[in-house]
Structure 1
Amino acid sequence: MGVLENKARARVFYKYLSRVYDEINPFVWNEAMRDEALDWFDVSQDDRVLDVGCGTGFATEGLLEHTDDVHGLDQSPHQLERAFAKFGKNDQVKFYRGDAERLPFDDDAFDAVWSSGSIEYWPDPVETLREFRRVAKPGGPVLVVGPDAPHTSVFGALADSIMLFYDEDEADRMFDAAGYETFEHHIQQAKPGSPRAITTLARAPE
């Protein structure tokens, strides 16, 4: 398990990263990548959508262009502070501080579930994906964006010592173990040479 796959350490990490997160994030996950993923996600204006690991609200902002009913959850109070300052004061988004592995919502509570830049910090990704399946309505889209595994053994070992990096085979294993029957993976990249994202679009079982 990587250093930041510990929830307490991740909270401390984001206490400081939150100050510069919006400036750093576009180098690895930019608007073009987000908008491409939103096209795959394909939600409608009336859909109730959960953004897990919403951070400072970068994906939340994109989701609001597609639906008026967005709910954001994050474990970091510092990230949530910044997201709330953008969208919470005028009730655009309902925000919750909570744990992705134990979502504080009823079964089938959302038409769709989105999570970008969060899976790499989950101690138990399969259990968390099961939670997404639980709160998503049958047939609803579940989209997860994470860091694609480096293709050299040296960088791979270093990456894994920090947080979860995974490839398409590992994504297949995780989504299958979590009970999803339908899913597909896309590799995204801000520009040649920059870190690659692996974006999985799944469907909650009917």
Structure 2
Amino acid sequence: MGVLENKARARTFYKYLSKVYDQINPFVWDERMRDEAIDMLGLEPDDTVVDIGCGTGFATEGLLEEVDTVYGLDQSPHQLSKAYQKFGKHGNVRFHLGDAERLPFKDDTFDVVWSSGSIEYWPNPVDALAECRRIAKPGGQVLIVGPDYPNSSVFQKVADAIMLFYDEDEADRMFREAGFTEFEHHIQQSRPGSPRAITTIAQVPE
């Protein structure tokens, strides 16, 4: 388990990262990549959407261009405080402080469950993916964006020591163990040589 797959350490990490997160994030996960992923979903304005690990609201902002309301959940109060500054506490985003492995939502609630840049901090990603499946409506979609495993053996060792990195084979295993049978992976990249993201869209059985 990587250093930041511990929830307490991850919260401390984001306490400080939240101050500069919006400046750093575009080097790894930029607006073009976010919007490409959103386009894969074919959203309708009245779709119910939740952003798990919403952070300061970067993905939430893009989702709000397509749907009327987004639910945002994060385990870091510091990240959420930045999101409050953008959206307010009582606007089109309904915020929740919570844990991806124990989501505070009822079964079959959302048309789309979105999570970008969060799975790498989940100590038990299969449990969290199963939770995403639980709260998605039958026939709905679950979209997860995580860091693709580096090609370099040196970077692989560094990556494994910090957080979860995974390739398509590992993604297959995690999604299957979480109860998904239908899903596809897309590799996204900000620019040549930059870290790659693995974006998975899973269909929830009807």
TM-score, scaled relative to structure 2: 0.98
- For 1:168 and 1:10, the matched residues in 2 are separated by 25
> 1:109, 1:20 → 2: CA distance?
33
SS in 2 for 1:187: strand
Which consecutive unaligned segments of at least 5 residues does structure 2 have? none
TM-aligned CA deviation for residue 88 of structure 1: 2.5
Q: Any conservation in 1 of the 2:89–2:95 contact (CA below 8 Å)?
A: no
Distance in 1, Cα, partners of 2:76 & 2:193: 30
The Cα shift of 1:111 comes to: 1.1
C-alpha distance in 1, partners of 2:44/2:183? 20
What does 1:135-174 correspond to in 2, within 5 Å? Answer: 135-174=135-174
Aligned-residue RMSD, C-alpha: 0.7
Partner of 1:20: 20
Aligned counterparts of 1:168 and 1:61: Cα–Cα separation in 2 = 28
Q: Percent identity?
A: 72
| CA–CA separation in structure 1 for the residues paired with 2:13 and 2:125 | 19
Give the structure 2 partner of residue 194 of structure 1.
Answer: 194
Alignment coverage as a number of residue pairs:
206
User: How far did residue 90 of structure 1 move?
Assistant: 4.9
Q: Which residue of 1 aligns with 2:61?
A: 61
Cα deviation for residue 91 of structure 1 reads 1.1
Structure 1 CA distance, aligned partners of 2:88 and 2:125?
28
Cα distance between partner residues in 2 of 1:205 and 1:179: 9
Partner of 1:95: 95
Provide the residue aligned with 1:30 in structure 2: 30
Give the conservation status (yes or no) of the 8 Å contact 2:72–2:95: yes
- The aligned residue for residue 47 of structure 1 is 47
Contact 1:56 1:83 in 2 (8 A): yes
Verify the 8 A CA contact 1:88 1:94 in the aligned structure 2: no
The CA deviation at 1:157 is 1.2
Partner letter of residue 109 of structure 1?
T
Residues 128-167 of structure 1 deviation map (CA, whole Å, 9 limit, x = unaligned)? 0000000000110100000000012221011011000000
Per the alignment, do residues 89 and 98 of structure 1 end up closer, same or farther by CA in structure 2, a change over 3 Å counting? closer
